[in-house]
């Protein structure tokens, strides 16, 4: 059976998942990439080093975000949402966001300090001095969800 997820199911999926995909588009060129994230009910929070995704979102902040939960080919859930990319520059908001991301990601890593590009370092001062991170949020404006369950 195919169906639509309720608003509550959509919110639950966005809060429960750790990895989603951001799709961006500039001058007719589309790009989609997986990212680790945290969702607070309004914003998707993430971080990245400088690269193609960040360049594209700075040029066109309108993005699409997708998460899914796949048990098998005939039993899955998927949420697609749309929103607007905003870079976080305020020091306090950057710190709160990184703490939220680290607390969400760290339990899923075998050796967290081996991943400085995720903002996880033995010395917290290394994040800004040795690792350049762009911290961002995406304000979601529209969400839809589908499922198949047989």
Q: Which pTM value belongs to this model?
A: 0.84
For the chain, give the mean pLDDT.
Answer: 89
Task: Return the pLDDT at 145.
Answer: 98
Q: What is the pLDDT of residues 64-118, one digit of tens each?
A: 999 999 999 999 999 999 999 999 999 999 999 999 998 888 766 666 555 444 4
Please state, in angstroms and rounded to a whole number, the distance separating the CA atoms of residues 65 and 61. 12
Give the pLDDT mean for 35-49.
Answer: 96
Give percent of the chain with pLDDT exceeding 90: 78
Residue 65, strand partner residues = 22, 81
Q: What is the pLDDT of residues 49-68, one digit of tens each?
A: 999 999 999 999 999 999 99
């Amino acid at each position: 059976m195919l169906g639509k997820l309720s608003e509550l199911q959509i919110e639950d999926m966005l809060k429960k998942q750790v990895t989603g995909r951001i799709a961006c588009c500039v001058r007719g060129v589309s790009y989609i990439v997986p990212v680790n994230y945290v969702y607070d009910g309004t914003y998707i929070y993430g971080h990245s080093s400088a690269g193609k995704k960040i360049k594209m979102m700075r040029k066109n902040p309108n993005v699409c975000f997708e998460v899914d939960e796949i048990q098998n080919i005939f039993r899955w859930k998927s949420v697609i949402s749309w929103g607007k990319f905003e870079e976080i520059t305020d020091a306090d908001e950057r710190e709160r966001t990184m703490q939220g991301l680290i607390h969400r990601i760290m339990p899923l890593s075998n050796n967290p300090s081996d991943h400085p590009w995720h903002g996880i370092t033995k010395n917290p001062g290394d994040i800004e001095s040795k690792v350049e991170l762009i911290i961002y949020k995406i304000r979601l404006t529209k969400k839809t969800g589908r499922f198949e369950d047989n």
